[in-house]
């Protein structure tokens, strides 16, 4: 997750957005691990706090061989502290890891050359590498939120498909999530656009909410995830699942 959102007081362990967003990741990972019939190494690329990788390990410890958090922002001290820990922090993916799943949760939009980074990841991995990717969707909802978080772009399914096909990845599934709240967010951001300081925004749109509101949003959006693969039209997030390297 983006560390800047932690600065806004967001607690991913309770916030509706992160708690509902992990639902499709969990379902894909569990299905993949059971189909493989072997433990997988989880590589959280651009991990930041490592929230999603830690959540996977907590939910499926019996299906996971190792957990690697990859982020160029880690210090030498942070990496040294995790050298012999179940979850290791590194700046780069070690070469030759087999039987893995790369999770990139809202990462590619932060990278100017997303094609180059995918090619570099592929060059480091061994065989049987799978991916689960999420990216923010639709430039029509571009706002100061994106500027504050350092985004280069928002995506659509065709854009992600082009990226993955041209880097020789095998797509198994693509879809949008947060589709039902998309119209409301689109309208709010369009109305606010003229009032926003796009050159120097001070915060993201992700904020803590009152408990009852947060609970309802979590339950509602988690339920909507049951129908996620049918949504090819619109949403706030675009998801792609598949094989990075055979």
pLDDT of residue 205: 80
pLDDT digits (tens, 9 = 90+) for 30-55: 999 999 999 999 999 999 999 999 99
What gap in Å lies between CA 36 and CA 49, rounded to an integer?
28
Buried b (16+ CB within 10 A) or exposed e, 43-68: bbbbbbbbbbbbbbbeebeebbeebb
Banded model confidence at residue 191, pLDDT cuts 50, 70, 90: confident
Number of other CB atoms surrounding residue 174 within 10 Å: 19
Name the β-bridge partners of 100: 41, 129
pTM of the model: 0.94
Those residues whose C-beta lies under 8 Å from the C-beta of residue 29, and which sit 6 or more positions away, are 40, 42, 56, 60, 63, 101, 132
Ordered by where they begin, the domains of the chain are 3-245 (3.40.50.150)
Q: Is the pLDDT of residue 192 over 90?
A: no
Is the model more confident about 189 or about 92? Answer: 92
pLDDT at 198: 73
**Model confidence pLDDT, tens digit, residues 50-84:** 999 999 999 999 999 999 999 999 999 999 999 99
Q: What residues have CB less than 8 Å from 244, skipping those under 6 apart? A: 102, 118, 121, 122, 125, 129, 130, 131, 169
What is the per-residue pLDDT for 2? 67
Would the pLDDT of 180 be above 90?
yes
3-state SS assignment for residue 137? strand
Q: What are the structure tokens assigned to 127, written together?
A: 């065989």
């Amino acid at each position: 997750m983006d560390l800047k959102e932690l600065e806004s007081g967001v607690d991913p362990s309770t916030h509706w957005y992160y708690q509902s967003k992990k639902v499709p990741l969990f379902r894909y990972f569990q299905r993949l691990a059971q189909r493989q019939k072997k433990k997988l190494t989880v590589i959280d690329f651009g991990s930041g706090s490592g929230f999603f990788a830690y959540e996977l390990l907590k939910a499926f410890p019996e299906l996971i061989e190792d957990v690697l958090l990859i982020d160029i922002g880690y210090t030498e001290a942070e990496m040294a502290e995790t050298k012999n820990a179940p979850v290791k922090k590194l700046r780069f993916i070690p070469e030759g890891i087999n039987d893995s799943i790369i999770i990139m949760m809202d990462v590619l939009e932060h990278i100017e050359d997303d094609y180059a980074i995918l090619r570099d990841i592929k060059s480091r991995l061994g065989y049987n590498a799978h991916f689960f990717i999420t990216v923010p969707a639709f430039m029509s909802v571009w706002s100061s939120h994106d500027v504050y978080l350092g985004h280069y772009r928002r995506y659509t399914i065709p854009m992600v498909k082009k990226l993955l096909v041209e880097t020789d990845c095998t797509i198994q599934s693509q879809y949008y999530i947060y589709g039902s709240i998309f119209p409301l967010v689109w309208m709010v951001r369009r109305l606010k656009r003229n009032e926003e300081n796009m050159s120097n925004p001070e915060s993201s749109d992700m904020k803590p909410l009152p408990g009852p509101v947060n609970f309802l949003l979590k339950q509602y959006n988690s339920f909507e995830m049951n129908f996620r693969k049918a949504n090819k039209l619109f949403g706030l997030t675009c998801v792609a699942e598949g094989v990075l390297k055979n």
